[in-house]
Amino acid sequence: MAVVACSAPVCDHLRGKETAVVCDKATTNSLADAIEQLLIDRRLARRIATAGLEYVREKHAMSGMAERTAKAYRKLALKRTTFRIKE
């Protein structure tokens, strides 16, 4: 399923023409134009749907999150940094 969304700068997964069609304005006309674009250009709709699914699987799957967390812990462990707490 292709995604149409209004501009949301804090949503890393909404990338215009890559993982979603992002509307510049939160108006009914802007939203209707974006939906119409996907209905007319089925190739774009399939590409966006596929890219969005791949992005979510890569960046937000539990295995990926666990691997990135383990990598961060390994990096910290290699630094062998200790912290002293003042009493």
User: What pLDDT digit, counting tens, does each position of 55-74 carry?
Assistant: 888 877 787 778 888 888 88
Residues 16/38, Cβ–Cβ less than 8 Å: no
The total domain count for the chain is 1
pLDDT at 9: 58
pLDDT at 57: 83
User: What pLDDT digit, counting tens, does each position of 7-50 carry?
Assistant: 665 566 676 666 888 887 778 888 888 889 889 999 999 998 89
Query: Could you tell me the residue range of the domain that residue 17 belongs to?
Result: 4-79
Query: Is it the case that residue 53 has pLDDT exceeding 80?
Result: yes
Phi, psi at 7, each rounded to 5°: -50, 130
pLDDT at 8: 60
Is residue 86 assigned to a domain? no
Is residue 26 assigned to a domain? yes
